[in-house]
Structure 1
Amino acid sequence: MSAEANPQLALRPMLPGEAPLLAEIFRASIMGLTQDEYEEEQQEAWAAAANDEAAFAKTLADHTTIVATMGGAPVGFGSLEADGKVGFLYVHPAAVERGVGTLLADALEKIAGGRGAETLSVDASDSAYDFFSKRGYAAQQRNSVQCGEEWLSNTTMKKTLPGPETVQ
Structure 2
Amino acid sequence: MILRAYRPEDCAFMARLFYDTVHTINARDYTNEQLDAWATGDVDLNEWNHSLLENDTLIAEIDGKIVGFADMEQTGYLNRLYIHKEYQRKGIAAALVNELEQRAKVKGLFNFETDASITAKPFFEKQGYMVKTKQEVIRSGIILVNYKMTKFI
TM-score > 0.5 by shorter chain: yes
Q: Which runs of 5+ in 1 are unaligned?
A: 1-8, 162-168
Which portions of structure 1, spanning 4 or more consecutive aligned residues, are displaced by more than 4 angstroms?
none
3-state secondary structure, aligned to 2:38:
helix
Q: Distance in 1 between matches of 2:76 and 2:16?
A: 25
Secondary structure of 2:128's aligned partner: coil
Q: CA RMSD in A?
A: 1.3
User: Which amino acid in structure 2 is aligned with residue 96 of structure 1?
Assistant: Q
Q: Could you tell me whether the CA contact under 8 Å between 1:27 and 1:50 is conserved in 2?
A: no
Cα distance in structure 1, aligned partners of 2:120 and 2:12: 23
Q: Distance in 2 between matches of 1:47 and 1:146?
A: 13
* Within-5 A mapping of 1:57-136: 57-136=49-128
Matches within 5 A, 1:24-43: 24-43=16-35
CA contact 1:119–1:158 (8 Å) conserved in 2: yes
Measure the CA separation in 1 of the matches of 2:139 and 2:67.
25
Matches of 2:42 and 2:53, distance apart in 1: 14
| Cα deviation, residue 55, structure 1 | 1.7
After superposition, what is the alpha-carbon deviation per residue over 1:28-65, rounded to whole angstroms, capped at 9, x for unaligned?
11011101111111111111275222222222222111
Larger mean Cα displacement after TM superposition, 89-98 or 41-50: 41-50
* Residue identity in the other structure for 2:152: T
Identity of aligned residues (%): 29
What's the TM-score once normalised by structure 1's chain length? 0.86
Q: CA deviation at 1:71?
A: 1.1
1:126–1:62 Cα change, 3 Å? same
CA distance in 1, matches of 2:74, 2:124: 20
Quote the residue 1:165 is aligned against. Answer: none
Q: Supply the distance in 2 between the matched residues of 1:49 and 1:83 (Cα, whole angstroms).
A: 28
In the alignment, which residue of structure 2 is the partner of 1:140? Answer: 132
**Distance in 2 of aligned mates of 1:49 and 1:88:** 16
2:38 to 22, 46, 49: 46
